[in-house]
Amino acid sequence: MGEGYLCPAFNPETYHCRIYEVRPLDCQIYPFVVMWNSGHTNILLGWDAKCPFLLHQSASQEMAPLGLPLDSKNMALPEEIIRMAQQVAALLESEQVISLLTDHPQFVTRFQEDVVSIQSLLILTETMMRASYLPK
pLDDT at 127 over 90: yes
CA–CA distance, 29 with 97 (Å, rounded to integer)? 12
Task: Give 91's pLDDT tier (boundaries 50, 70, 90).
Answer: very high
pLDDT, mean over the chain? 81
Tell me the mean pLDDT in the region 77-84: 82
Residue partners of 50: CB distance under 8 A and separation at least 6: 3, 4, 114
| pTM score | 0.75
Per-residue pLDDT band for 133 (boundaries 50, 70, 90) equals low
